[in-house]
Amino acid sequence: VGSVAYERFTLAEATDLEVRLSTELLYHKGVRVFKDEDGQLDADDEHVIRFSTAGSGVELVGQLSLEPGNYVVAIADYRTSEQQSIDGIAPYGDGGSYSLTLVEQAAWTPSTESNGGYGLQGLLLDLDASEDAGQLYTVV
């Protein structure tokens, strides 16, 4: 029996994140993200998402869109359940060491340097991407 590792972070605004988890070669990890409403991880907190590595020594990469708030990342063996993650009990072992990285994914914002200094102005825009030959509109 092992223990669950916890990492905490706070977001001041809605943010798109990339989650990267690297593990030791012999361990298959699971990551659970909880929105912590009261500073104490418990069953009342929202379980946002679960990721697990594809195998031992494989880097896990996931994408998240999160609202402002406090979050807890629980890291343990991939077989650890949601309730076990909350309770801090990893019945299959703690799974060894890991490296967790959270990277904000910035949305592309056109600058005045785009399109020869005109930004999006003058470019054609298709408002219905589901239609291959849809109507094109000029950005003014």
Distance of alpha carbon 66 from alpha carbon 103, whole angstroms: 12
User: Which pLDDT does position 111 carry in this prediction?
Assistant: 58
Per-residue pLDDT reduced to its tens digit, 44-90: 999 998 877 656 566 777 888 999 999 999 988 888 899 999 999 98
User: Which pLDDT does position 63 carry in this prediction?
Assistant: 85
Please report which confidence band the pLDDT of residue 95 belongs to, taking 50, 70 and 90 as the band edges. low
Note whether 59 and 71 are within 8 A (CB).
no
pTM beyond 0.95: no
Closest CA to 62 of 27, 18, 102: 18
Per-residue pLDDT reduced to its tens digit, 24-47: 655 677 889 999 989 899 999 999
The single-letter DSSP state of residue 82 is H
